[in-house]
Structure 1
């Protein structure tokens, strides 16, 4: 039986754990609070409390690093953590991986790594990122840290804006004024986030970087107003005037070429559970 550890049994990690368990994997994972650990364990997933503060804290977390496969899903919390704190977390984590039995790693990153300005074409994985030409330097440094001087096989997934279930984009702008509505979105449904990680694990795809973004890019305004109709919330009260310039779009062609099929390719049709 294949064994997989998921560091970060959160909004994406927990449904991934349940999916893999149904597929016959032996699944183990971590969460930062004991209360959450108890809830996860009662749902049928073996879990430990593990926290990077930035050094490792918890009990019994060494088991995480004994699995055949490891999924790292701990994005930087930019509102409450410094960039240095996140990178220190990854430094400790990488040291433990290099010393462990886990030799195949999926690292979840973000399309926020790409520059903020739009281009004539969509950003693809071969866009030449540098520390000076990047959307989020912390994400770039995190990826570089995981890629260099490693004793494991690695693939990186750059997720778009995660939506689905209770994450409803229109809720964040309900009743607000001067909302940006004229640009197109780079969203990803929760179910496709789970499916993309499973694709890497099940097909042994290593040494690759993939953008994972729904391939259809509707306007923000269209989505916000459809959300308001579907779940009965107020739409934005007003929008900013459309500006000249290009949308900042992210290409998902590479992962599509590897056989991935999006369950929800069009964010305009995302199902939600308010």
Structure 2
């Protein structure tokens, strides 16, 4: 049996990640905010705890979630789209003392490439690029990253994913219902759930801690071309785009993930 891993957040990414780690003989603990999901998660071999992060404290048995684990994966979405007034940074701040008091040596923080602003020049973004988000969500993610990185009680690796897609979840299904979509000429930055999980496995296996990785497919087709093509394949209405306003975007470099982690993306998935 390999070392024990705790996952804070058994959602769309966290649950299949936990299952994949168990198949690789890791012992896995995890958390959910829904009591109705606990029994199902336990059936998958995940020792599950009901835990909610609040701005003023952590509700649930966070101590037992972290107990005897060497690695903690923080996979908690900020939730700022639903509630723009949420202080995600405060949630991370109240979590940190529990990590410090535990045996956790390594923290993997699942973040987003939204920490980088879109620009008309479509800049190439690498891990050396300084995050410059102006959105509320982006700025809070930047501050949360820094809180964890600056803590010397444990090693933190930041993993920033581009747009996520996977089984029963593709952004084209939402875009097909919209009109006057902005930034039609912007480069697409996407990554499939399967590759997200494989990258996390590589970080854990190769012990790349105190690092930053930006994860996105090496291919960056234009937004309007890509989603129009995908919608045709999925037999969905073709989205309507705003070509009158200059497009803003960015290109997320995949070089570090490919070279340092020796990882190969399954690029064929991008086009279904």
Same fold (TM over 0.5): yes
* Bigger Cα displacement from structure 2, 11-20 vs 224-233: 224-233
Q: CA deviation at 1:242?
A: 5.9
Match of 1:80 in 2: 82
C-alpha contact 1:222 1:268 (8 A) present in aligned 2: no
Match of 1:269 in 2: 271
Residues 89-138 of structure 1 show CA distances to partners (whole Å, capped at 9, x for unaligned) of 10111111011111111111110001221446411111133687998211
Pairing 1:30–2:31 present: yes
Residues 58-95 of structure 1 show CA distances to partners (whole Å, capped at 9, x for unaligned) of 2x432221211110011211123456621111011111
- Aligned residue for 2:125, secondary structure, equals coil
* Bigger Cα displacement from structure 2, 20-29 vs 112-121: 112-121
- For the residues of structure 2 that align with 1:118 and 1:14, how far apart are their CA atoms? 37
What TM-score do you get using the length of structure 1 for normalisation? 0.89
Following superposition of structure 1 onto structure 2, how do residues 36-185 of structure 1 map, counting pairs within 5 Å?
Answer: 36-54=37-55, 55-58=57-60, 60-66=61-67, 67-82=69-84, 85-119=87-121, 121-129=123-131, 136-180=138-182, 181-185=184-188
- For the residues of structure 1 that align with 2:139 and 2:228, how far apart are their CA atoms? 33
> Equivalent of 2:189, from 177, 186, 191?
186
- Aligned residue for 1:188, secondary structure, equals strand
Pairing 1:219–2:222 present: yes
What TM-score do you get using the length of structure 2 for normalisation? 0.90
- Seen in structure 2, the aligned counterparts of structure 1 residues 209 and 142 have a Cα distance that, compared at 3 Å, is same
C-alpha contact 2:115 2:132 (8 A) present in aligned 1: no
- For the residues of structure 2 that align with 1:240 and 1:195, how far apart are their CA atoms? 36
Q: What's the Cα RMSD here?
A: 2.3
- For the residues of structure 2 that align with 1:262 and 1:134, how far apart are their CA atoms? 33
C-alpha contact 1:188 1:212 (8 A) present in aligned 2: yes
Match of 1:202 in 2: 205
- For the residues of structure 1 that align with 2:36 and 2:137, how far apart are their CA atoms? 35
* Bigger Cα displacement from structure 2, 22-31 vs 179-188: 179-188
- For the residues of structure 1 that align with 2:75 and 2:252, how far apart are their CA atoms? 20
| Ranges in structure 1 where 5+ consecutive residues have no aligned partner | none
